């Protein structure tokens, strides 16, 4: 539980760092704002066609009683929304980072350098940051889709589908977000994607304490504009903690 408390403290410190600096807030919010405008259209379409999608997925309930058919619609609707939310949040962050790779690379560097010495490692230019952001973002989307499918299937289980599935989505989503948001700091320290996964897995509660709040905040319309840079700052501090480095100046 000490890692859980520490992770929440790192998240709060990351929030204070970003919200207390107009420069960092602008740096991180601009790419997220562009992504929010893109995803607003997607969510409008989802809300418009959700009843039709539920009907398409529940032909087996056509001959059921009205109450049983309504229950089936609720179960499928919740499962569908949970699966779409997981993919949407993770792909939103992936698209945001792909759009603003150099912005978040710079944000991470500022937070890193403001805390203390950073081990010598590769400092990538704008083009390299864009390529890394697009590459890792694509990997994140693929992982999120592969995870959403079994969660969607599990959502058909009565009761558990409406309680356990959203919790699992937040835990899985939080961990994947940490992997992506901590990438710039860990990349500078020579950690590739596989190495980052092992490092974050070594202290799961610590990663969840930073990733889950970011995931949940990204579910709230417009809040993701601030949640992504806050998560990026907190994940940079998390990277320092995982590497055994000081997390406060």
The tens digit of pLDDT for each residue in 149-164 reads 776 677 667 666 667 7
In a domain, 248, yes or no: no
pLDDT at 222: 80
Angle at 122 between CA 118 and CA 123, to 5 degrees: 80
In a domain, 140, yes or no: yes
pLDDT at 133: 60
In a domain, 206, yes or no: yes
The tens digit of pLDDT for each residue in 9-18 reads 999 999 999 9
pLDDT at 12: 95
Q: Mean pLDDT per segment of 10 residues, for the chain of length 249 residues?
A: 90 94 89 84 77 73 74 75 72 77 86 80 57 65 70 68 77 86 88 86 93 88 86 94 87
For the chain, give the number of residues: 249
In a domain, 72, yes or no: yes
Q: Which domain holds residue 63?
A: 2-242
Cβ neighbors of 83 (< 8 A, separation 6 or more) are: 148, 149, 151, 152, 155, 169
pLDDT at 13: 94
Cα separations in angstroms, 37 against 30, 32, 83, 224: 11, 9, 21, 11
Taking phi over 0 as left and psi of -120 to 50 as alpha, with beta for the rest, 80 belongs to alpha
pTM of the model: 0.74
Average of per-residue pLDDT values in the chain:
81
In a domain, 247, yes or no: no
pLDDT at 203: 92
pLDDT at 141: 67
In a domain, 209, yes or no: yes
pLDDT at 212: 93
pLDDT at 213: 93
In a domain, 249, yes or no: no
Q: How many domains does the chain have?
A: 1
Classify 100 as helix, strand or coil: coil
């Amino acid at each position: 539980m000490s890692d859980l408390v520490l992770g929440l403290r790192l998240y709060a410190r990351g929030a204070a760092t970003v919200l207390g600096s107009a420069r960092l807030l602008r740096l991180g919010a601009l790419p997220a704002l562009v992504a929010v405008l893109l995803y607003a259209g997607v969510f409008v379409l989802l809300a418009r066609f959700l009843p039709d999608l539920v009907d398409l997925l529940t032909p087996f309930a056509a001959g059921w009683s009205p109450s049983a058919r309504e229950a089936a619609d609720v179960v499928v609707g919740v499962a569908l929304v949970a699966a779409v939310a997981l993919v949407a949040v993770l792909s939103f962050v992936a698209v945001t980072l792909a759009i603003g790779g150099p912005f978040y690379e710079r944000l991470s560097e500022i937070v890193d350098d403001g805390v203390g010495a950073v081990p010598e490692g590769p400092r990538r230019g704008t083009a390299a940051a864009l390529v890394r952001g697009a590459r890792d973002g694509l990997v994140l989307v693929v992982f999120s889709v592969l995870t959403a499918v079994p969660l969607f299937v599990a959502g058909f289980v009565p009761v558990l589908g409406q309680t356990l599935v959203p919790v699992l989505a937040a835990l899985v989503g939080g961990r994947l977000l940490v992997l992506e948001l901590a990438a710039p700091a860990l990349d500078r320290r020579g950690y590739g994607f596989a190495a980052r996964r092992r490092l974050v897995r070594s202290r799961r509660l610590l990663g969840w304490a930073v990733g889950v709040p970011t995931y949940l905040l990204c579910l709230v319309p417009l809040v993701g504009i601030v949640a992504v840079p806050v998560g990026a700052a907190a994940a940079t501090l998390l990277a320092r903690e995982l590497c055994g480095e000081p997390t406060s100046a």
